[in-house]
């Protein structure tokens, strides 16, 4: 089990939110939480079974300007 943590700014979400959702739908996993913070930033956490999927998902998320991502066990 791997947890992928993604953060992005409010502006990045406005620009790339739809593309991010399409990307997330490509990977087998569950969104544990998605929170919009008072400052407009967004925090999302996904649970993914396969380490290769978690690693690739993390790498692809980071291609969106303003998004940061990392995974952990």
Give the CATH number for residue 15.
Answer: 3.30.70.260
| Residue 32: domain span | 2-72
Q: In this predicted structure, what is the pLDDT of residue 67?
A: 98
Percentage of the chain exceeding pLDDT 70: 100
Number of other residues whose CB lies within 10 A of the CB of residue 30: 9
Number of domains within the chain = 1
Per-residue confidence band for 4, with pLDDT thresholds at 50, 70 and 90: very high
Q: In this predicted structure, what is the pLDDT of residue 43?
A: 98
- Mean residue pLDDT of the chain comes to 97
Q: In this predicted structure, what is the pLDDT of residue 23?
A: 97
The tokens 């620009």 sit on which residue?
15
């Amino acid at each position: 089990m791997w947890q992928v943590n993604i953060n992005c700014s409010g502006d990045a979400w406005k620009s790339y939110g739809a593309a991010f959702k399409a990307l997330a739908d490509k990977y087998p996993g569950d969104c544990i939480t998605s929170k919009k913070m008072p400052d407009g930033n967004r925090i999302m956490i996904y649970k993914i079974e396969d380490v290769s999927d978690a690693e690739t998902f993390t790498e692809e998320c980071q291609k969106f300007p303003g998004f940061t991502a990392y995974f952990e066990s």
